[in-house]
Structure 1
């Protein structure tokens, strides 16, 4: 029969303990009158819950480990089991008007994120953005009305295959970045200056009429500079060849960067990926024209986390990113609900490394690490500084 009062038993002789003051931290100290053993009592459930709460608080803040415990080593030891707890993103099958898709890289890993503009839906770990990785993520999410993406070609192909009825809106920020990449910020050629002006005017468009005027201006630019875009350079013996030119090519386009910037806008207009956000707005659906909410939200949080907690192993860094993304879902549950007994039941001690045999027996006796009285390593007594 259990004792209804708070009278624990001694772990040495099993006799009843009595209170014997408190520790420096304020916890009750217990003492056995029979054998004199002293101890303190603790509840593992509340202790582990508090340790896990401090672990999550540390992951989601720029503070150091020592700020959450008496020392860094104490915090690391008490929260070591917390790395075994993995959050699971909620999947309720909700259909969204828009979903932003993008990937962010660190230490050879990439995490693909699906974001609604306000909260995270799901994520997928991979080595790089490729068709298999995007397929694993998109097949778990119902197709939205609009997918807002950057210029990743595997992502575009995956969206068209698995979400055939979803319209695509290319991110204006990434379009602008591509324009600066091809044309630079201060182009010298007149054709490049006019084309860069079209790039910079794109974010200022807010109506379909303005979009039609912009498209007409782009068509006028194409007609004006069509001969310029077709300029060719022919290979000459001993003349340097650009890096993009193959060894067997006899000629190549002279203004390749201008052509790349032109073809980007031309393909976006032909695929109808440029003004999707304006077209769906006519039906009363409001979607974004850029992935800024994703870039400045989860992606920035991941970079800040890795910067604040340098030195984490790859597994711990990934688990920390998992918690950052989960806590940014629409209705995250209490992290403690993911904790099971398996989290702290696993023995994580370092394996004992047994060194191989050295070889001959005489070598072991001469250079071994065993204790030997003949070596003069007997038990010494007395003050260590006294001479014999």
Structure 2
């Protein structure tokens, strides 16, 4: 393009004033929706994705219950929600979409277990649970799911007494960070217990093999996703790439750019020029008009065109009305 880069930025500066309005609710009931949030510059954007298009999004500071509720209330409840397991999202789903089935993302389950067991567990119980986790990633049928549940139940029964081992507090003994100073004992194998609790909760809440439920399979023949990878590798990756390529954007511009990106990923993106108004092109005129309207609305009554005694519009008395001698 002709001219300098600075000149080009100056010519298009008005474009940053064009804001993207919230997505228009369509009322379409999606069979499955992936829900996840991505962070940047102290902000978090929550995204609802149907596997092909962005359905809606919501800005917040972190993934908390109230922020998720604001997003979920604008979207009809789907048959299945695929989530990463955040506590705020789980609480919002129970209140806003109580009838929707939940599928926990296998990738996040794997990460949660690996965080507790590490890459190379030392204890036999940890090695066996890590092996069960690797098998879980390969489950593809209901028969394999039933077999996995049996293997996991056998693991719990085998190591139940082992996981009840306690460590008594002693003078000068180092305590785990999760143990209070007033505790006289704690469970010895806390990481193993936390990993076990992850699976216990998933099994109790029936959100580990939802994707294999034949009654929930869509009529289109498309399978229910078991991970949020399409969302992670789609809109979330596009946001990270956008901000990487345009490093140094002011916070306001970064949010505007992400809004435009997500708008372009919806099923029916709006034409940008349809959102442009005259005041976007000429902000000085908009400021001038706003200032004039503000002055007129705040001006005292004596400055209007109404009759006022204080303006001197009446019979005058005093020195000015005397006759000269």
Please, what TM-score do these two structures have when normalized by structure 1? 0.71
Asked whether 1:214 is paired with 2:148, we answer yes
Cα distance in structure 1, aligned partners of 2:216 and 2:17: 49
Is 1:203 matched with 2:140?
no
Structure 2 equivalent of residue 82 of structure 1: 15
Q: How far does residue 341 in structure 1 lie from its aligned partner after superposition?
A: 1.5
Shift of 1:280: 4.3
Aligned with 1:340 (options 257, 270, 277) = 277
Counterpart secondary structure, 1:148: strand
Large movers: runs of 4+ above 3 Å: 280-285
SS of equivalent to 2:37 = strand
Alignment partner for residue 246 of structure 1, among 180, 189, 196?
180
**Residue 90 of structure 1 contacts residue 121 of structure 1 at CA under 8 Å; is this kept in 2?**
no
Q: Mapping of 1:141-152 within 5 angstroms?
A: 141-152=75-86
- Tell me, yes or no, if the aligned pair for 1:147 and 1:167 is still in contact at 8 Å: yes
Bigger relative contact order (CA 8 A; separation at least 6): 2
Partner of 1:156: 90
The CA deviation at 1:333 is: 2.5
User: Shift of the alpha carbon at 1:90?
Assistant: 3.2
RMSD, aligned α-carbons: 1.6
Q: Which moved more, 1:314-323 or 1:237-246?
A: 237-246
SS at match of 1:113: strand
The structural deviation recorded for 1:308 is 0.6
What is the rounded CA distance, in whole Å, between the counterparts of 1:70 and 1:232 in structure 2? 74
Give matches, 1:99-114, under 5 Å.
99-114=33-48
Distance 1:209 1:74 in 2: 65
- Cross-structure match for 2:244: 307
| Distance (Å, rounded) in 2 between the aligned partners of 1:176 and 1:272 | 17
Q: Does 1:138 align with 2:75?
A: no
CA contact (8 A) 2:79 2:216 kept: no
Per-residue deviation, residues 141-167 of structure 1 (Å, max 9, x unmatched): 110000000110010010010001001
How many angstroms does 1:282 deviate by? 6.0
Structure 1 residue 70, shift from structure 2 partner:
2.6
Question: Residue 158 of structure 2 is aligned with which of 218, 224, 228?
Answer: 224
Q: Which runs of 5+ in 1 are unaligned?
A: 1-67, 349-388
Give the corresponding residue for 2:313.
Answer: none
- Aligned residue for 2:230, secondary structure, equals helix
SS in 2 for 1:252: strand
Aligned length: 282
Partners in 1 of 2:120 and 2:2 — Cα distance?
A: 54
Q: Give the whole-Å Cα distance in 2 for the aligned partners of 1:94 and 1:284.
A: 15
The whole-number CA distance in structure 2 between the counterparts of 1:80 and 1:284 is: 47
The structural deviation recorded for 1:347 is: 3.1
In the other structure, the counterpart of 2:212 is 278
Q: Is the 8 A contact 1:281 1:287 kept in 2?
A: no
Measure, in 2, the Cα distance between the counterparts of 1:228 and 1:237: 25
Which residue number corresponds to residue 331 of structure 1?
A: 268
* 1:97 partnered with 2:34: no
Structure 2, unpaired ranges of 5+: 286-325
Shift of 1:287: 1.2
- Give runs of aligned pairs for residues 1-388 of structure 1, distance below 5 A: 70-88=3-21, 89-280=23-214, 283-284=217-218, 286-347=223-284
**C-alpha separation in 1, matches of 2:231 and 2:217:** 25
